[in-house]
Structure 1
Amino acid sequence: MNRVVIVGGGNGGLVVANRLHGKGLDVTVVEPSDTHLYQPGIVDYALGSETEESIVRSLDSLLPVRWVRGRVTKVLVEDHSVMVGDRKLEYDYLVLSPGVVSKKIDGTVGWHSLEEGRKLRDQIASFTGNSIVVGYSGVIKCPAAPFEFAFLLKERFPKAKVTLLNPVTNPPEIQRPMAEAFGKRAKELGVEIKRGFKIARIDSAQRIIESESGEKVQYDLALIDPPVVVGNEFREMADQTGFIPVDRTTLKYKNYDNVFVIGDANNILTPPKTGSKAHYEAKVVSDNILHAVEGGSKKLYDGSAICAVYASSKKGYLVRMNFERSSIYGASSIFYEMKRAFTHLYWSSLKGIFP
């Protein structure tokens, strides 16, 4: 029986595990956490519109296959095995979906764990000032999230000045439709966008954020998402981007036919890092593992990603993207309701049935 080891119990890892379950394979998931977090729900949770219970599930309620609770400390691709502490797990196929970690930057709180969400929630609930700054630095998960926070915070605190710090001066052509729609919405709400603002320093004591060019922005509340990279245990596999290189259509690591990397950990930066991207990649990889075992034509990942984005507390956008083009629809109440509904539909999507 062919052995499949999946590293990571996030979106991508769970979709692969569910799609391979019951297919005559010996499937094992390695994951240190006993819970799974719906990360896009952090925006709703931080703003008080969702509870912890709605965005967190126990991992054993989502996994139909063997689960080894632990952290991979070493990947031995030549030996077809991974180390989990002192334990060696051998594989015929390896799917790496370990997610990423946020770089530590003073004055920032990441947006991707429940603990971080609690801190953001407390900061927003206790805000009484006049100036809110939302921003990010480097490669992050879901570059739409800072806009969502800025739009919703402006509605919640209409008298406050809300500024969004965007390190990108000119967005890639494929992301231009989204950038233009978000820019238009920012003007409508009165959110100031500072493009090309690359954060160099955050002075928490003086509440000042300074750019690499020396521009300074004062704040009473700052929500800054730090950049992400792969964890230390995978740094040897990473390239200069800080992520693990793959062929962008097969998702194979280098020239290894039995090693795949999906989700935030791989070095595909367009489309951006989102759960939707991980979901589509997981479907391709799980199907191709089955085809390799049973026979059949291989599938290629075309860059597909789709997501709903908040434009306000009543309207939303729908964004579709692949390697060749992108489009955005809205703002509409329909897409707002779609975004809200997916918080609950998400758990069914992990079975790999729909994105």
Structure 2
Amino acid sequence: MKNLVILGAGTSGTMMANHLRPKLSKSDWNITIVDQYKTHYYQPGFLFLPFDMYTEDQVKKVGKKFIPKGVNYVQKRIEQIFPNESKVMLEDETLHYDLLIIATGSKIAPEEVEGMKGKNWHKNVFDFYTYEGALALRNKLRTWEGGHMVVHLTEMPIKCPVAPLEFAFLADSYFHKKGLRDKVKLTYVTPLSGAFTKEKCSKSLGHLLKEKNINLEIDFAIERVDNENNKIIDYAEKEIPFDLLVTVPTNMGDDVIARSGMGDDLNFVPTDHNTLQSKEYDNVFVIGDATNVPASKAGSVAHFEAETLTDNILLHIEGKPLKPEFDGHANCFIETGKNKALLIDFNYKQEPVEGTFPVPGIGPLKLLKESVFNHWGKLAFRWIYWNMLLKGIPIPLVSRNMSTKGKKL
């Protein structure tokens, strides 16, 4: 009996368990998935929690219910990976593996910036990338009466690169609905030289910021948070005051990657960009936010990666060459407020462009254009996530690799 171990039962790990269990003989392969947490979170929903658009119950469920029968589910802390010995040490046992899938995700690290996780953390300095942070911010916004809100991005890469912009757009809409918009100054602060990483998309999003009277501060490399005077300060000593700071801290891979000596400076695992095999260990594969591939750290990317990785693991078992197939495909809905959203579709080489999705020439979704349909698509994704994506069920008409059909290249 051979052993396949999956580390992490978040989006990527759960998908891989569902993809592989039906394809690997139960008499030949034992599959074990390990995660220390009982709760599985729908992380895209954290964006909506602060604005009372989603409830707590809509973004969390018991993780075990999504693990297929025939997969051993172990809820324990992962202490260390020993890749040269093909074993994983848990808190009170050791697992040996023939194949390992690392799906340990990423997390925020506010301690990386001086003063960020200081005395005002979750008082007037908030994140919304954690369940606790999003809830604390929701409670703050329910009673906040206005002032200067600064929405801030520390550095790339981050989970869902468009989320900070979406937060700014939704905040604008939220304060309009509350009749407070004229009492709120909104500023979006980024270390990038534009609103977003992709040039054409950055222009569209920058235009929306201007249209919504949201100030844009670019090239701001934060050095510290001044909790006494409520300011963020960059390395050039530029200061931006705030009454309420909503920040996206540095994102890093799981600490177990550092303890195992398998990651880069941010604890992301060096991974072949196209096959998703570890660059250092032939029997180790990596997926989702745990990788260092230059694709968005988003659920859609993990979904496309999972399909390629499943094929490559089967090829690896058969001793055949792997497919260098994954092209960095991502598609992301970008909430722009007032029940509208943009949709972008891109990969490693192709920037977001205008067009239709998913049916070429028909849609019904429009790329790089605001629409109510795109907003509905964003909201519908929550149902798709819980009922299809996690279970490894193919999403109709959406291919793993980016199609150029119906797009104005």
- Using structure 1 for the length normalisation, give the TM-score: 0.94
Which AA in structure 2 matches 1:315? Answer: K
Partner of 1:337: 376
2 CA distance for matches of 1:354 and 1:198? 41
| 163, 168, 177: which one aligns with 1:150 | 168
C-alpha deviation, 1:285, in angstroms: 1.4
Query: Is the contact between residue 148 and residue 243 of structure 2 (CA under 8 Å) also seen in structure 1?
Result: yes
Give the conservation status (yes or no) of the 8 Å contact 2:332–2:343.
yes
Larger displacement relative to structure 2 (12-21 or 117-126): 117-126
Name the CA distance, whole Å, in 1 between partners of 2:269 and 2:320: 27
CA distance in 1, matches of 2:145, 2:45: 24
- Higher-RCO chain (CA-CA 8 Å, sequence separation at least 6): 1
Q: 1:137 aligns with which of 150, 154, 157?
A: 154
Counterpart of 1:254 (choices 265, 279, 304) is 279
Alignment of 1:149-188 (within 5 A): 149-157=167-175, 158-159=181-182, 160-169=184-193, 175-188=198-211
2:332 aligns with one of 304, 307, 321:
307
User: Scaled by the length of structure 2, what TM-score is found?
Assistant: 0.82
Alignment partner of 2:309: what SS?
Answer: helix
Judge conservation of contact 2:7–2:101 (CA < 8 Å) in 1. Answer: yes
The amino acid across from 1:110 in the alignment is D
Partner of 1:226: 249
Write the deviation string for residues 64-110 of structure 1: whole angstroms up to 9, x where unpaired: 12111012111111111111123111111100010122212324543
Q: 1:223 to 1:170 in 2, by over 3 A?
A: closer
List per-residue Cα deviations over 1:212-260 (Å, max 9, x = no partner): 2222222121100101112222111112354211111111112322101
Task: Choose the corresponding residue for 1:71, options 62, 69, 77.
Answer: 77
Q: Which amino acid aligns with 1:349?
A: L
Larger mean Cα displacement after TM superposition, 290-299 or 187-196:
290-299
Q: What is the distance in 1 between the residues matched to 2:32 and 2:126?
A: 33
**SS state of the match for residue 276, structure 2?**
coil
CA distance, structure 2, for counterparts of residue 200 and residue 295 of structure 1: 49
**Alignment partner of 1:119 out of 124, 133, 136:** 136
**Which letter maps to 1:16?**
M
Counterpart position of 1:211: 234
For residues 344 and 296 of structure 2, what CA distance do their matches in structure 1 show?
12
SS where residue 280 of structure 2 aligns?
Answer: coil
Q: Unpaired segments of 5 or more residues in structure 1? A: none
Contact kept, 8 Å, 1:208 with 1:218, in 2: the verdict is yes
User: 1:37–1:55: 8 Å Cα contact kept in structure 2?
Assistant: yes
Segments of 5+ residues of structure 2 without an aligned counterpart are: 176-180, 354-366, 396-409
Structure 1 position 292 matched with structure 2 position 316:
yes
The answer to whether the 8 Å contact 1:13/1:282 transfers is no
Among candidates 291, 296, 308, match of residue 266 of structure 1: 291
Give how far 1:295 is off: 6.9
Sequence identity, in percent? 32
- Give the C-alpha shift of residue 171 in structure 1: 7.6
Q: Aligned pair 1:51/2:55, yes or no?
A: yes
Match of 1:350 in 2: 390
Q: Say yes or no: does 1:320 pair with 2:349.
A: no
Whole-Å Cα distance in 2 between the matches of residues 296 and 259 of structure 1? 16
- Alpha-carbon distance between aligned partners in 2 of 1:283 and 1:335, rounded to the nearest angstrom: 25
Within the alignment, does 1:281 sit opposite 2:305 as a pair? yes
The question of whether the paired residues in 2 share the 8 Å contact of 1:123 and 1:221 is answered with no
Aligned counterpart in structure 2 of residue 37 of structure 1, from 16, 38, 41: 41
SS at match of 1:243: coil
Q: Cα distance, 1:170 vs. partner?
A: 5.1
One-letter amino acid matched to 1:126: T
Moved more, 295-304 or 32-41: 295-304
Task: Provide the rounded CA distance (Å) in 2 between the counterparts of 1:162 and 1:242.
Answer: 33
Alpha-carbon deviations, 1:106-151, whole Å to 9, x = none? 2454333221221121122221122111011112211211111101
C-alpha distance in 2 between matches for 1:266 and 1:109 = 26
Equivalents in 2 of 1:109, 1:153: separation in Å?
14
C-alpha distance in 2, partners of 1:115/1:71?
20
Query: Structure 1 pair 131/263, CA: closer, same or farther in 2 (3 Å)?
Result: same
- Measure how far apart 1:43 and its partner are: 0.9
Q: CA RMSD in A?
A: 1.8
Change (3 A) 1:183 1:354: farther
Helix, strand or coil: the match of 2:173?
A: helix
Structure 1 residues 240 and 305: alpha-carbon distance in aligned structure 2, compared to 1, 3 A threshold:
same
Equivalent residue number for residue 222 of structure 2? 199
Aligned length: 353
Q: 8 Å contact 1:99–1:263 — kept in the other structure? A: yes
Q: Which moved more, 1:336-345 or 1:113-122?
A: 113-122
Tell me, what secondary structure is at the counterpart of 2:352? strand
Paired residue secondary structure (1:79): coil
Instruction: Give the distance between the partners of 2:41 and 2:21, measured in 1 at CA.
Output: 22
AA aligned to 2:167 is F
Q: Amino acid of the residue matched to residue 215 of structure 1? A: K
